[in-house]
Chains A and B, each alone.
Chain A
């Protein structure tokens, strides 16, 4: 391991162990689609070529000097297409979206509550993956083979190779992508719109379903093996809370979410949560989460977060990516400094843009570079 990579790892290790690091760790998040478009590639064509995906991610890493790898070359887009995944559908521009699709009927809540694992595997999965519905006998085999064939294409030209080449941090290992129970019901079983109606029609069903989701996640966590020597994380993007009033948040969202965080920690993992949209009304609740949680914020007020949130937690993100579209690098630099003056005060902040640059129009490359370089220089404690 190079000295630079060791230094980068130490920054994150210090933060996770409650020490103030030498400087703010600086991460950038750029999508593979952005990287492909930057090279003039097509989301209908080269997105399905591991060689081109690797080239595009390599170029972004050469341009963006963040502590993390800014773009991961791996994509399962071909698997989504082959399996006819109704939760991951390409738009007219070839960019995959999660549509507001509800594979579960309202009347099926009791079945979900009774046996969530069986209901998920036998009823919902075939409705999500068209290949399972079309070929009940060999559908699961087809899905497994699709994952195997596509994953193997990235052997030798994936994230590990670029992390080593560009000396980026590798101390964290994402063990699992999870969801808060209420979000999981909204995302996977019902839909964002349906669940808002469900809590009025049969609130007890939604509450019981949230508890059932904990059973499902417990089974998943018991089968995940942590990577030795790494900070093993479970990442949870949080969706629905900003659309809930405090009463509904306290009743439907937070109790099962808090239990899940405890469960994640009990299994030896670190929770990394990302609060989408504005969480200002729910900030105090985050102090009730157990242990040290890495909490990213999209639109919460950074000053309010620093004032409200317990310092044992790690905070990240905040930097508004809108400015990366059309501002000058100098203006970007000024905004980075303004943000760091507010959030880099307790030694528990990791710099990150508030959302990834998804498509080429989202950011000028020189602005991403100015953002990262300024954070690296100005973030020294």
Chain B
């Protein structure tokens, strides 16, 4: 299994989670926020 990127882009999240148009309105921004929070946390640790 290939290593997961620290933070996926919007496009990658849409593809990975198969988000339909409706889900892209509110769910996608939440997922982006989670990815960024993980990235900030890990960057802060380095």
Contact = CB atoms under 8 A, between A and B. Distances in A.
Interface of A: 42, 44-49, 52, 78, 81-82, 134-135, 138, 141-142, 145-146, 148-150, 153
A48 B33 contact: no
Main secondary structure of the interface of A (DSSP, over half): helix
Contacts of B34: 82, 142, 145-146, 149
Given A138-B6, A138-B38, A141-B41, A149 B30 contact: yes
> A-B pairs with the 9 shortest C-beta distances?
A48-B26, A44-B22, A48-B27, A45-B22, A49-B26, A135-B4, A145-B37, A78-B30, A146-B34
Contact of A145 (B17, B20, B22, B38): B38
A148 B27 contact: no
A100 B37 CA distance: 33
A275 to B, nearest CB: 35
B43 to A, nearest CB: 12
Given A42-B22, A44-B20, A44-B22, A81 B27 contact: yes
B11 interface: no
Contacts of A44: 20, 22-23
Given A42-B22, A44-B20, A149-B37, A134 B30 contact: no
Nearest to B20: A44
Contacts of A150: 30
Interface string B11-36: 00000010010110111001101100
B37 A48 contact: no
Contacts of B33: 149
Contacts of B22: 42, 44-45
Interface of B: 1, 4, 6, 17, 20, 22-23, 25-27, 30-31, 33-34, 37-38, 41-42
Contacts of B20: 44
Given A134-B1, A134-B4, A48 B41 contact: no
A45 B25 contact: yes
Nearest to A146: B34
Nearest to B24: A45
A344 B21 CA distance: 50
Nearest to A51: B26
B1 A48 contact: no
Nearest to B23: A44
A166 to B, nearest CB: 25
Contacts of B41: 141, 145
Nearest to A49: B26
B26 A45 contact: yes
B30 A48 contact: yes
A138 B42 contact: yes
A146 B31 CA distance: 8
A78 B27 contact: yes
B44 to A, nearest CB: 12
Contacts of B37: 145, 148-149
Nearest to B5: A135
17 contacts: A42-B22, A45-B23, A46-B26, A48-B23, A48-B25, A48-B30, A52-B26, A82-B30, A134-B4, A138-B4, A138-B38, A138-B42, A141-B38, A145-B37, A145-B41, A149-B33, A150-B30
A80 B11 CA distance: 20
Contacts of B1: 134
Nearest to B33: A149
B41 to A, nearest CB: 7
B5 to A, nearest CB: 9
A125 B18 CA distance: 23
